[in-house]
Amino acid sequence: MADWQKITGGITAPRGYQAAGITAGLKPSGLPDLALIFSQVEAIAAGVFTTSQVKAACVEYCRQRLQAKQSARAILCNAGQANAATGTQGYLDTLESAMAVGQALKIPSESVLLASTGVIGQRIKMDALRSGIPKVVAALSETGSDAAAGAIITTDLVTKSIALETTISDRPVRIGGIAKGSGMIHPNMATMLAFVTCDAVVSPHLWQQMLARAADRSFNSITVDGDTSTNDSLIALANGQSRTPAITEWGAEAEKLEAMLTAVCQHLAKAIARDGEGATCLIEVEVTGAHDELSARQIAKTIAGSSLVKSAIFGHDPNWGRIAAAAGRAGVPFEQENLQIKLGNFLMLENGQPLQFDRAAASAYLKKAATGAYLQEDRVLISVNVGNSHGSGKAWGCDLSYEYVRINAEYTT
């Protein structure tokens, strides 16, 4: 049993946070497009960002800010323009955005972090942003998480939000999160954005370590289409308003906090994978028997990212050979005679030898997932064992449908 419970409130569930989401005129659709998260006090800040050599201005800005000062009070996110590959002027727009938020909130601009999502190569519509910032500040609320979650999405079909609560030193501690992502999703920080709030007291160094490990076990273990974005950002704040004793070194309390942080990130990551553009189901790949966790996750990510595996799932074809082929090219050594593959409860390969199984029933299992309730009965489980070691890991993805091609063929038109 997990040592926490799910609660309502999203990113405003932890104490001392407000959020807002408004329509500022950044998206051509006229839908909400500007979100703000605000901590009533200075919060410890950590971040994990895209590894792409082509980084959005907001990513460069946040990396520099967090290197200089591991704290913040506000996160502003615009949707509609990625402000990536926009040159010097794009970075100047980012600096102006931080200054405008700082002035509106009456805090130093150095306490403002930024994120953007939208079309690459397009600068932020600064006139709309300038007029929108005072409005989004005025809209800040302790119940504003849903509005913020709705203002950061682009091609997403649903918003993504969660909040969990545990007890540390006999006091409740909460972590909340929101995320966006549907396409251009692949390990190495995926276009995905995720924002996490926490009211625990934790040292900056430890908080950054926790977040990096949680990212590896969640956002760096999902794939939709094999494309990593220019804007991927995971930013987490911890403001200490739970009034618990400070967590400054590894121990039982730090372990509990990191486990809950990982659970929040994994929920959001699975929601992103399930909401993959054109997807009909979530694919979860679990690999056991590997030399270590890293090796197991590498095999799992390769299988989850295989276009052939994803296409077979969409076609309700229990073609386990594609799973075996993907595992074999993952770059992780294992003995072929140890390989075992299961699709749901259907054992298809054992000790490297193919087995007879009910193909019609296996296909029906895939069809049922395609019509299952969202993030409840819509999971296709692929289980792979590669040996007798203790390394295990998971990855998540989605099937590859005709609709994915249509969405991305028309993205800017």
> What six digits make up the tokens of 273?
């994978």
Q: At what angle do helices 87-105 and 126-138 cross, to 10 degrees?
A: 20
Nearest C-alpha neighbor of 194 from the set 207, 183, 208, 180: 180
The rounded Cα 402 to chain-centroid distance in angstroms is 24
CA angle 260-247-237, nearest 5°?
60
CA gap 312, 400 in Å, rounded: 8
CA gap 200, 294 in Å, rounded: 29
CA gap 229, 188 in Å, rounded: 9
The rounded Cα 158 to chain-centroid distance in angstroms is 14
Nearest C-alpha neighbor of 234 from the set 269, 274, 204: 269
Alpha carbon distance, N-terminus to C-terminus of the chain: 48
50 catalytic residue (yes or no): no
Number of C-beta neighbours around residue 1 at 10 A: 3
Among 50, 94, 191, 244, which one carries the catalytic annotation? 191
Residue type, 82: A
CA gap 265, 252 in Å, rounded: 20
54 and 106 Cβ atoms separated by less than 8 Å: no
Catalytic site residues? 191
